[in-house]
Structure 1
Amino acid sequence: MAESFIFSIAESLAAKLASRAYQEASRLVGVYDDLQELKSSLSYVKAVLLDAEQKQEHNHELREWLKQIKLIFYDAENFLDEVDCETLSKQVVRDYGTPKDKVGRFFSSSNPLVFRYKLGHQIKEIKKRLDRVAADRNKFGLQVIDVDRRGVHRREMTYSHVVESKVVGREHDKEMIMKLLMEPSLDDNGGSKHISVIPIVGIGGLGKTTLARLVYSNKRVTESFPLKMWVSVPDDFNVRSLIIKIINSPSDFASSTDAPAGQQNLRDLEIEQLQHRLRNMLEDQKFLLVLDDVWNEDRVKWVELQDLISVGAQGSKVIVTTRSQSIASMMGTVACSHNLESLSPEDSLRLFVRWAFKEGEEEKYPELIRIGREIVEKCKGVPLAVRTLGSSLFSKHETQEWEALRDKEIWDLPQKEDDILPALKLSYDEMPSHLRQCFALLSLYPKNHAFISLDVASLWGAAGLLSLQSQDKSMVDIAHQYLRDLMARSFLHDVFDCGSFYFFLIHDLVHDLAVYVAKDVCQLVSSNTQDISENVLHLSFVENGLRCNSIKPSLQGARSILFPVNEVGASEAFLNAWVSNCKYLRYLDLSDSTCETLPQSISKLKHLRSISLCNNTRIKRLPSSICKLQNLQVLRLDGCSNLETLPKKLRKLISLQRLEITTKQSILPESDIAKLNRLEYLCVQDCDNLESLFVETRLPTLRTLQVSGCANLKSLPLDTHHFPQLETLVIPGIANEDWLDRSEDTNAVLRLKSIYFYGMVTLPHSLQQYASTLQTLVIACFYELEVLPEWLWNLSSLKSLYISECPKLKSLPSDIHRLTSLQVLGIIKCRELYRKYEPQVGECWPMISHIKHTYIRDTWE
């Protein structure tokens, strides 16, 4: 998998070279002609990369050829980035430079003539290397493929037969689907309709097809549906092919006198004749149609098929199995899809025993069963993973063999085509190339990590994976779209959509897949790490006390370094050994670090897009040179409780979009902050000496404002004059609520979409002034709150309401139905509410059962 991203990198390079903005920048610094020549060489290589990627697995020499190209591409990305750096530096000198700055620049290596010569020479060298490697392309017999069509390698077509006694742990799921099949078909207005569509959704290997088989083969279903059809859906959801499959599907029908004259003749018929046969076959028949393994998201084709089969009798049903939430939403007609959950640990072990032993044999091997429990834990309730590991141990009774498998990662195990890793990889292969790279970077976080979308956006943005498609969308907007795409493919779970950001987890097996596809590009480093792969780009350190030897030259091109585990951070020695030597770093997360300062040489990391020092309690000052990082998009200083002052000349950070601050200062450099013309997210946290904020300052681009733990804050103007674009307000733990009062000027009222209240006594009345715009409301850690105010139900635009850790809150008002726009209700760690509103069983569950998505949990797990 090491060279699986080469085509994506080539596409990114080509797009950058072709962009109007980049061509203008290259003319400005005098390297336009050199880059056009490089563009030509790049196109010559790019044309055969897709074929090379597909053939590399069985050709070591081809893999080495791709590896050389990958290293050249990395260097090309770095040198092209130099053009951006130079352009931004010119802008800062023009806007804020003094005569001394301009003279100093002339006599430095940044002198335009020196820079042009140096960069031109580097580009020519890259072109020469690329041409030299490209000359070897013909010896591999590679074909030109212009369009990336990976993802066509699919599993075999499925069938409907199942032995029910061999299926474990799906009785409840079967009954839920049976209930949907047997109940009358109703439309959105409560009237009857001919056909209901029931989606079954989940990641690969979870048992969607098995569940559909259980239902399809059930005696009650056979008695209720005289006509049953099972269709394994082709990749492209071709309507003509589907019609033929549906006509050929019902064996009972095919043997009757009304059956087609010969199945082999159907492909010779025109589409008009085919649709006529299909409609004749289904007309006035109460049928059950299973469409297994649907991948295509073309709604036009689905509607076309739906129109053709709508001639069936009242009560006809369609079951759709898919990995995609968006397909389920598009095709489903029931209130909500059936999201298939993992097996319980007990059911997983039962299934494992069936695959690992002959019947009854397991009783002889209690020690193997003990190890088996630990092996099953790796599978996290996914039946195909249980089967994969269990069958690999069949007839093996040596303890050492079982322990060896227990201690191995799943991606290191031999896998057949129908095992778990290939099954999951189908979903990965089906992704567009930009999404594959983004997904791979999730491997930098340990298993069970609780993700926050803003941090993921910072990482993806720093890696250059978020292409801005329009001026109206920020990097965070694009990142959220990518996350929704991953969510739709069932790669994320336990997703909490909080309006302006998401919390989410990824399944352990999905994490295994991310590690597998990202190896040699991303690496988690722990005390168990034997060696760090050569030329790895992204490094994640998950333990303290790791050795900080001088880094190898092959690692000096690293682009990301992060410490994603709480209370694990970089030491001074690490900083000196690694950061100072990795001059192409783009993402540097030094959260929880123990360093007392940053070196002045930090300014040499001119490619840096994101740096975090959050929760560093030892650092007191930052070097002024940090303001020379003109590419910097994210600066996190939250939790730096001993930081005495912010660096001067913050205004020079002209690319900054996200700024988080904790400082002992009594006055922030507001004039500097106001000149950050791209600033969208500002967090001011635990600044105990601050008494006022932005009273005379306007932040024209700010979209999200968080003010928390500022105990002495007396004023903060919340109006459109000071914050014309503000959409999201996060207000935790306010000691003085006076500044939340209603604005007297109705024309100046903010058009807030999301508000997050934490640690207060009651909801402020000022919330009512946002009734027409507010879409997301979070109420958390209101430990004394017993009743929600009646006016809350006047929030007519509210789509998402989350209530967490409000232990004294006993009920929701009976007129919650007045929130007609409400689609998501989350109740987490609210003991009394959980007891009353627990799904299906709580006495008050019927009051909220109409809401499309509910998360009712007694813990965060």
Structure 2
Amino acid sequence: VATMVVGPLVKIVMEKVSNYLLDQYKVMKGMEEQHEILKRKLPAILDIITDAEQAATHREGVAAWLEAIKKVAYQASEVFDEFKYEALRRQAKKKGHYKELGFHVVKLFPTHNRFIFRKRMGKKLHKIVHTIKVLVTEMNAFGFKYQQQPPVSSQLRRKGPANTDPKEIMEIIRKSRANDKSAIVSRLVGQAKNADLTVVPIVGMGGLGKTTLAQLVYKESIIQEHFGLLIWVCASECYDVDSLAKRIVEAAPEKKDGATKAVFEKEKDGRKTSAFKNKDDGTEATAMSRKTLLDNLQNVVSGQKYLLVLDDVWERQVHIWHELKAFLQHGERGSVILTTTRDNEVAKKMGRNVEAYNLASLEEKFIKEIIETRAFSYLHEEEKRPEKLLNMVDEIAKRCVGSPLAATTLGSILRTKTSEEEWKAISSRSSICIEETGILPILKLSYNDLPTRMKQCFAFCAIFPKDYEIDMNKLIQLWIAHGFIQEKQAHLETIGRRIFDELASRSFFQDVEQVQATSSQDSELCYSKTTCKIHDLMHDVALSVMKNECALATEEPDKIESVVTTEEPSQSEWLPNTARHLFLSCKDPGKKLNISLESSFPAIQTLLCDSSMSSSLQHLSKYSSLQALQLCSARRTFLLKPKYLHHLRYLDLSRSRFIKALPEDISILYNLQTLNLSGCTSLCELPRQMKYMTALRHLYTHGCPELKSMPRDLRKLTSLQTLTCFVAGSDPNCSNVGELGNLNLGGQLELRNLANVTEVDARAANLVNKELRRLTLTWTFRWNYFGDQNCWRDDKEDARVLQNLKPHDGLHAILINSYGATTFPTWMAMLQNIVQIHLFSCRKLVWLFSGECDTSFAFPNLKELMLKDLVCLKRWWEIDNDGMQGAALMFPLLEKLHISNCVKLKALPGHLTFPKLQNVCIQRCPKL
């Protein structure tokens, strides 16, 4: 049984009860006695909570007591959020926010009357204190024991980082499944003359490696050459013909005639997502009739010998199959569908003309190799593996019944143990996997072995659908928004990243990938990110912990499904009053919410809408407990009222393409930590009073081409560490780049409209001391009436501005657009850690790098160089010395070289061999 996670919630409440603002602004005046009682009782509960959580797995009375503790802890958390907000309101009023908002300000704060606030909150607090007193009395009767819990920062990587590369485990699996791969490849290729559509099912229990095997087959060179079209789709979250047909069409590559997917927009970052797709705009499928969908599906496969992989098919998808099959039969002779499933009945119904491939358990020698590779990954190569521990691997391997996921998970647990006694304890606690339970007992054992705070962080991931591609930074920001990370002696995002890495090293996250930003200067969503997924069995573990606290509205047209049930509930049942975290991926989520909230009263803390919302929201007061909100609006106005969102810490409005401005009163969201406005292509301005949103840590404004300036006094947002785009305005009432000087920014930054920036402001921006990884610098390109390039603007001013925008030495990527001077500053040649250089429309630039070519400035890490529309560019260096000794050392790692419309460029740097070059594109360069 996966243990309940209540301790971190009590810890969060204790932190809120002790907040210094409560005393500073006297928001608990008249309630001091109840306040002091809570300060005494909560630590007492926290002292024994670990023992209670462990006892709850086998004592029903303790489990019921913990549920009661959790319920009152949630109530107390909400009450003290109100106390904190009242303190923040009084603080902002003292600083002048009321005066700047105007006479309507009273309407924004229902609690502005202190007497009414004290009376209302006193009643709530009295009820909570009474409940906790009763629960403490019961606690004493149980006789729990005190267990010390170290802070989360000391629980991370106590034995040093794991040295295991995921590729090592993959190589073991590839070696162990070589015969299985060959057998399936032969079956697929052997259907070449078969006129009927063939279905080849791979059958096996969860965690056996069916998907991994299918991936090995899919990537095999014989398969890539044999089939003209290869498509991979995860079928587990498709509930009807429409959704599965849409997935297949979206996952298919574009036909040469471009006609295949005319109705679908291409992904903005150029990536193809073959599993559960994170929707950018949910309107495509709504506007498309079933006939259009199925016609497009038929068009995708028509005339093609194709391989379609349907991964993770369940019984509920079988009824879809018969209708879909008629449209898939239009491929060429020899087309095959490869499916993976746990269910033999599914295999029989779908693959009637071919015998299913029953995947056998992995040989024990490979299971042992996986366990040892993971368990001893903390050792350096020269260190010897302890003999006593090695002797115990045989017994542990038997408990995995041939499951590579079970072996990887157990090995990850053992990596954190060093003594023989600890290994024996794990061996005795790990049940042998049986057909009824599969490997879930081992996965739950791995979960129970996590430090308490990490349990809470992983359990929260139950909010996401299975096979969902999770953005790591977004996940960490959600953890922080909910108070899961509260270390006072460390940077919260750093702790969050360490928790993420630890969970990934223990196999709770998989398919961790770094997605690079797109290289197009016109891209509206140019941003790098790290993504991951969760194995569906690990997802089941998270669901078993969260129980009825998560609810999911799927994309199925007529039904909404609770994530914790196996049967389809009615419209009113999917959203129980216990639900706190909601994920909606259905057509018109606003309509679903409006209907459901008529009869439900959940205290919603998280609302993530993954599809576009066209309906206006009702029951606005029922969103007052929200701490995290993701909303893609298809309307021109903000769908919620800030006066009901006082406790909001995370707000994602990205891709809300019609919003022109946010309401000015959004500045009363004093708790807000993350504001994502990326891709709001109509957004013209930000709220003028943003300077009062002092909790703001992350502000995403890239992909907002209509944004003309930044609000004044941005320097007052001293917690800000991410600002993806700063637009320099010409209005005296907006911020200039100099206001960035004292902000501790990192990650990505774009500075736009640099024609409005002076040399003084550029120097004050202090970029050299900001640990940026990606920097984009854009001037406004202007032709004069006669097209005379000498009259654009003062090129010397551009040069002085760029000279003073020298970045940190750790910069990885720089993009410069429409720069007006003839040369670059000397620091451009000294970017030793730079990986990408993209230069666009610098139409006066004569050479790239000032000074002589010097092997000490050889760009040792540069992998990608793109030059476009540099119409005056003649040479690479100010002092051209093609025959210079050692020049061949330049660009030793360069992999991608694109040069376009550089009409005066006569040559590449002399005598270069480009040993790593893989991709070269030279266009409209007549002298090259």
**Normalising by structure 2, what TM-score?**
0.55
- Cα distance between partner residues in 1 of 2:25 and 2:600: 29
- Cα distance between partner residues in 2 of 1:29 and 1:62: 33
- Cα distance between partner residues in 2 of 1:483 and 1:619: 34
Q: Which residue of 1 aligns with 2:743?
A: 701
Number of residue pairs matched? 632
Is residue 560 from structure 1 mapped to residue 601 from structure 2 by the alignment? no
Distance 1:701 1:373, change over 3 A: same
Choose the corresponding residue for 2:168, options 306, 331, 338: 338
Is residue 372 from structure 1 mapped to residue 202 from structure 2 by the alignment? yes
Q: Which residue of 2 aligns with 1:751?
A: 808
Distance 1:100 1:452, change over 3 A: closer
Q: Which residue of 2 aligns with 1:6?
A: 6
- Cα distance between partner residues in 2 of 1:337 and 1:497: 18
Q: Which residue of 2 aligns with 1:525?
A: 553
- Cα distance between partner residues in 2 of 1:341 and 1:327: 17
Question: Partner amino acid for 2:615?
Answer: E
Deviations 1:205-236 (A, max 9, x none): xxxxxxxxxxxxxxxxxxxxxxxxxxxxxxxx
Q: Which residue of 2 aligns with 1:431?
A: 450
- Cα distance between partner residues in 2 of 1:417 and 1:817: 64
Question: Partner amino acid for 1:372?
Answer: I
Distance 1:517 1:744, change over 3 A: same
Distance 1:814 1:516, change over 3 A: farther
Distance 1:448 1:39, change over 3 A: same
- Cα distance between partner residues in 2 of 1:481 and 1:516: 25
Structure 1 counterpart SS, 2:764: coil
Tell me by how many angstroms 1:693 deviates. 7.3
Question: Partner amino acid for 2:122?
Answer: G
Q: Which residue of 2 aligns with 1:143?
A: 144
Unpaired runs of 5+ in structure 1? 152-294, 300-324, 355-365, 808-812, 831-843, 850-854, 857-861
Q: Which residue of 2 aligns with 1:496?
A: 514
Q: Which residue of 2 aligns with 1:457?
A: 476
Q: Which residue of 2 aligns with 1:476?
A: 493
Distance 1:847 1:828, change over 3 A: closer
Choose the corresponding residue for 1:680, options 696, 721, 724: 721
- Cα distance between partner residues in 2 of 1:415 and 1:746: 67
Q: Which residue of 1 aligns with 2:113?
A: 111
Tell me by how many angstroms 1:352 deviates. 14
Matching of residues 43-122 of structure 1 within 5 Å = 43-97=43-97, 109-122=111-124
Contact 1:638 1:685 in 2 (8 A): no
Matching of residues 22-33 of structure 1 within 5 Å = 24-25=23-24, 29-30=28-29, 31-33=31-33
Deviations 1:105-126 (A, max 9, x none): 7996333444344333322211
Structure 2 counterpart SS, 1:135: helix
- Cα distance between partner residues in 1 of 2:183 and 2:668: 62
Choose the corresponding residue for 2:623, options 574, 577, 582: 582
Matching of residues 171-210 of structure 1 within 5 Å = none
Question: Partner amino acid for 1:478?
Answer: I
Q: Which residue of 1 aligns with 2:288?
A: none
Structure 2 counterpart SS, 1:572: coil
- Cα distance between partner residues in 1 of 2:913 and 2:171: 21
- Cα distance between partner residues in 2 of 1:352 and 1:64: 53
Is residue 668 from structure 1 mapped to residue 709 from structure 2 by the alignment? yes
Distance 1:65 1:374, change over 3 A: same
Contact 1:48 1:142 in 2 (8 A): no
Distance 1:487 1:775, change over 3 A: farther
- Cα distance between partner residues in 1 of 2:651 and 2:807: 31
Choose the corresponding residue for 1:422, options 438, 441, 465: 441
Q: Which residue of 1 aligns with 2:643?
A: 603
Q: Which moved more, 1:631-640 or 1:518-527?
A: 518-527
Tell me by how many angstroms 1:13 deviates. 2.6
Structure 2 counterpart SS, 1:503: strand
Structure 1 counterpart SS, 2:450: coil
- Cα distance between partner residues in 1 of 2:710 and 2:637: 21
Q: Which residue of 1 aligns with 2:682?
A: 642
Structure 2 counterpart SS, 1:465: coil
Matching of residues 214-225 of structure 1 within 5 Å = none
Structure 2 counterpart SS, 1:326: coil
Tell me by how many angstroms 1:74 deviates. 0.6
- Cα distance between partner residues in 2 of 1:100 and 1:487: 47
Is residue 728 from structure 1 mapped to residue 756 from structure 2 by the alignment? no
- Cα distance between partner residues in 1 of 2:613 and 2:179: 41
Contact 2:458 2:542 in 1 (8 A): yes
Deviations 1:635-691 (A, max 9, x none): 222322223433332222222222233667675254242333332222338999999
Matching of residues 804-843 of structure 1 within 5 Å = none
Structure 2 counterpart SS, 1:485: helix
Question: Partner amino acid for 2:721?
Answer: E
Contact 1:495 1:503 in 2 (8 A): yes
Choose the corresponding residue for 2:827, options 769, 773, 788: 769
Structure 2 counterpart SS, 1:558: coil
Q: Which residue of 2 aligns with 1:631?
A: 671
Distance 1:522 1:640, change over 3 A: same
Deviations 1:150-181 (A, max 9, x none): 99xxxxxxxxxxxxxxxxxxxxxxxxxxxxxx
- Cα distance between partner residues in 1 of 2:147 and 2:887: 54
- Cα distance between partner residues in 1 of 2:686 and 2:341: 60
Contact 2:838 2:865 in 1 (8 A): yes
Matching of residues 375-386 of structure 1 within 5 Å = 379=209, 381=211
Contact 2:780 2:818 in 1 (8 A): no
Tell me by how many angstroms 1:630 deviates. 1.0
Distance 1:716 1:512, change over 3 A: farther
Tell me by how many angstroms 1:607 deviates. 0.2
Alpha-carbon RMSD: 5.9
Distance 1:343 1:793, change over 3 A: farther
Percent identity, aligned pairs only?
Answer: 19
Q: Which residue of 2 aligns with 1:835?
A: none
Contact 1:664 1:688 in 2 (8 A): no
Tell me by how many angstroms 1:433 deviates. 1.9
Tell me by how many angstroms 1:72 deviates. 0.8
Q: Which moved more, 1:498-507 or 1:644-653?
A: 498-507
Question: Partner amino acid for 2:672?
Answer: L
- Cα distance between partner residues in 2 of 1:624 and 1:8: 36
Unpaired runs of 5+ in structure 2? 185-195, 216-310, 315-339, 359-404, 407-432, 518-526, 562-568, 782-794, 869-883, 899-911, 920-928
Deviations 1:174-210 (A, max 9, x none): xxxxxxxxxxxxxxxxxxxxxxxxxxxxxxxxxxxxx
Q: Which residue of 2 aligns with 1:126?
A: 128
Question: Partner amino acid for 1:682?
Answer: L
Distance 1:501 1:71, change over 3 A: farther
Structure 1 counterpart SS, 2:700: strand
Question: Partner amino acid for 1:56?
Answer: A
Contact 2:630 2:652 in 1 (8 A): yes
Contact 1:665 1:689 in 2 (8 A): no
Tell me by how many angstroms 1:597 deviates. 1.2
Question: Partner amino acid for 1:82?
Answer: E
Distance 1:744 1:607, change over 3 A: closer
Distance 1:756 1:342, change over 3 A: farther
Deviations 1:780-819 (A, max 9, x none): 79999xx998979756998x76649999xxxxx9989979
Distance 1:512 1:397, change over 3 A: closer
Structure 1 counterpart SS, 2:641: helix
Distance 1:716 1:451, change over 3 A: farther
Contact 2:836 2:862 in 1 (8 A): yes
- Cα distance between partner residues in 2 of 1:463 and 1:589: 14
Distance 1:149 1:658, change over 3 A: closer
